[in-house]
Chain A
């Protein structure tokens, strides 16, 4: 038998993985949906890209000004902004492109160093990371124009900050994915999230009550922020420019120490993944036991089939921590709103700001946020049904029932959240005026029906498979995002037009009546679409099964 050849070099492996990504991308364009998705990404990317370029120019000007006129806090502020965008944006929007998991390549003789490089490379190619790298480059340009001596300190400082961001970004994903992959840790994380959200509600009342006493603590905290990475990077430039070599080097050493700690935390995860850690649920089977089979749920007012589907969908939602944590975010938005409130008339708070901080805006804004969160589910409502989907096509049911059950679930979630928001608003900012509640509910009803109608079609035409409890690679199809954005623009535009027209006419009740009329028209459209759903699903069953039931 011939001898076994040695594993290829690191550069060869990286080249091969790059080639693999390229082939996956090119082959993904074979379908019409793939081509449309690319077109959507280019269109959206162009719009977002313009904003990023423009903001980079502003940051560049800002850092020029900060160095030229010796304003270190401005530089620090800019670095904080970049730092936070880099870390938080990918958590909110988990990337635009499909990400090939380097773990799937471990069956090949992949070197550990190559594996680490691939994991980091995914971080660099993240859109938020790319934007932040560009912003840092723009800031360096601004600094270079202002002072070349400052540039020589800014390059290592910004470089270390970029490396740290990259490491933190990867470490957060790696650890969160680790915790979210198994039910027990997921539940603990979920509970922590809920506790944080609830305890956050007390921040504003506490600040109002003990604000003065807490001031020294807040000042101390603000000075503590200086020893966090963006502050250290800005301080390094400041000390370097002032020829205070010792302090500048100390700041740099601090940044590198941060990199070391975070890199070590990331290495723990990567090493475990490289050794073949299996993060599937199967590693920690849930409690075994024998229990009698209980009959399924009986949901009043709907057929037994819809009731069974509704029960299944609700169980799926409750077993998907990421999904219901997302649904909790409206609670947080009320918190944010309440923190900016101004109970007593302040001479400096006038006009629009006063309107925005009034308690009567909490309810509409909270409901708007709830709507956006819930309808996010409606635009890809088959996302988690993948493995079981063939069963729905094999069973003697109309696909209309499948969508009705999902719409019912989304409606119940919306109703529950609206009630929570109403109660929270009452607690945080006092009772919302009945007119505001009425207008908001009428508008929400119409907007929700619009989104359900569009969502049912988009779910069938542009589905995207998602895995419960997973953070990475969990994005809806670009086309569904585009349609969803289009619907929100139409709804917001029409709602604003109706509102201002009714105000102009001197009777805001007309706006509510207008919303109800629109809701009635949309209800008819919703019913019509619902009647088409079975036929569309039957015609598109091959495409649906190919996208949603494909093996991982």
Chain B
């Protein structure tokens, strides 16, 4: 039996009348590069917030690396790294101060935290801005720093919410290189992204969520063959085509706007 890095059973979350996530059963095996896809408002961020302990599920169970998140949140959190939607940076610190702080929050001793912070600053190309406060960083620099802080303790599972959003090609290259190293050392990566080309290139497995419900889960090849069999046209489908098929068929006809004729 393969070890599961992320497992959810009947995961649901309500916000008043709205059921943002409904009965989601995820299975992410250890070592997978896993893409979590869905249209806007489908429930991706809600799910990732629940998986990282920032949002309480209405019902359902979350197990990370076999540990129950509800009963052992500290145990789970020490094994994972998170780059949340808003990046969660203390922006009145400098980059090195933030990285050493993050390292110590995850239990590293002072010296190790400083050594790893230095390596990460060199790797991400932020070593030339060691005196600048984070508030002075560009968006791409902040993303790289958030990623560096998320991996400083060598997590076994890394959760990334839209890591490539608003990032230029150079910064994206650095982030991809960092993720590849994580995968090479056996970590599991769980990311959400709207950039389907990147997901298709990086991820081995994906899950697609639509209107709060999981509509597909498996390797990209499995999803491709499933959709191809349904369409029966022998065409090799891209992830975008698979995605559109899963969340509501072909791209809907765009209605006209009367004042933009």
Question: Which A residues contact B (CB, under 8 angstroms)?
Answer: 1-2, 280-282, 285-298, 304-305, 307-309, 311-312, 315-316, 319-320, 384-385, 387-398, 468, 538-539, 541-542, 545, 549, 551
Segment from B86-94, B179-187, B203-211 that makes contact with A: B86-94
Contact: A285 with B136, CB < 8 Å? yes
- Report the minimum CB–CB distance from A72 to chain B (whole Å): 52
Residues on B with C-beta less than 8 A from A285 are 132, 136
Q: Closest CB of chain B to A549's CB: distance in Å?
A: 6
Q: Are B99 and A293 in contact (CB under 8 A)?
A: yes
Pairwise interchain contact B131-A286, C-beta atoms closer than 8 A: yes
Categorize the interface residue count of chain B. Answer: 35 or more
Known: A293-B114, A296-B100, A391-B149. A282 touches B77 (CB 8 A): no
Is B18 on the interface with A (CB-CB < 8 A)?
no
With a cutoff of 8 Å between Cβ atoms, the chain A residues found around residue B131 in the complex are: 286-289, 291
- 10 cross-chain CB contacts under 8 A: A282-B135, A289-B131, A293-B100, A295-B113, A312-B97, A387-B88, A391-B88, A393-B53, A394-B52, A395-B102
Is A385's CB under 8 angstroms from B136's CB? no
User: Is the Cβ of B56 less than 8 Å from the Cβ of A542?
Assistant: yes
A296-B110, A541-B55 given. 15 additional CB < 8 A pairs? A285-B136, A286-B132, A288-B132, A290-B128, A293-B115, A294-B96, A294-B100, A308-B100, A319-B133, A387-B87, A388-B89, A391-B149, A393-B53, A396-B75, A396-B78
Q: A312 contacts which of B84, B101, B114 (Cβ < 8 Å)?
A: B101
Pick the contact of A397 from B88, B91, B105, B133 — CB < 8 Å? B105
Chain A residues with CB under 8 Å of B111's CB are 295
Using a CB–CB cutoff of 8 Å, the interface residues on chain B facing chain A are 52-56, 73-78, 80, 82, 84, 86-93, 96-97, 99-102, 104-107, 109-111, 113-115, 117-118, 121, 127-133, 135-136, 149, 258-261
The reply to whether B261 and A2 form a contact with Cβ atoms under 8 Å apart is yes
Most A-side CB within 10 Å, residue of B75, B104, B115, B128 = B104
The reply to whether B133 and A281 contact each other, CB–CB distance below 8 Å, is yes
In the bound complex, how far is the Cα of B80 from the Cα of A280, in angstroms?
A: 33
Question: Which 9 A/B pairs are nearest by Cβ-Cβ distance?
Answer: A388-B90, A396-B78, A308-B104, A390-B88, A396-B77, A391-B88, A295-B110, A395-B105, A285-B136
Closest to B105 in A: A395
Contact A549 B260 (CB under 8 A): no
CB distance from A300 to the nearest CB of B (A): 13
Closest chain B residue, CB of each to CB of A298:
B110
Given known A2-B260, A289-B128, A293-B96, contact A391–B73 (CB-CB < 8 A) = no
CB distance from B177 to the nearest CB of A (A): 21
Q: How far is the CB of B48 from chain A (nearest CB, A)?
A: 11
CB-contact partner of B105 in A280, A293, A308, A549, under 8 A? A308
Q: How far is the CB of A183 from chain B (nearest CB, A)?
A: 8
Find out whether the CB atom of B128 lies under 8 angstroms from the CB atom of A296.
Answer: no
Complex contact B260–A1 (CB within 8 A): yes
Which residues of chain B come closer than 8 Å to A384, judged between CB atoms? Answer: 92
Verify A296–B261 contact, CB threshold 8 A: no
Q: Check A387 against B90 for contact (C-beta < 8 Å).
A: yes
Q: Check B54–A296 contact: CB distance below 8 A.
A: no
Is the Cβ of B88 less than 8 Å from the Cβ of A290? no
Of all chain B residues, the one with the shortest Cβ separation from A5 is B259
Smallest CB-CB separation from B84: which chain A residue? A390
Rounded to whole Å, the gap between the CB of A552 and the closest CB of chain B is 11
Q: Is the CB of A308 within 8 A of B136?
A: no
Nearest-CB residue, chain B, relative to A389: B88
Inter-chain contacts of A393 with B (CB < 8 A)? 53-54
Contact A542 B55 (CB under 8 A): yes
Residues of chain B within 8 A of A395, CB atoms compared? 77, 102, 105-106
From B74, B104, B132, give the contact of A304 (CB < 8 A): B104
Q: Name the one of A280, A296, A316 contacting B92, with C-beta atoms under 8 angstroms.
A: A316
Expressed in whole angstroms, the minimum distance between the Cβ of A64 and any Cβ of chain B is 54
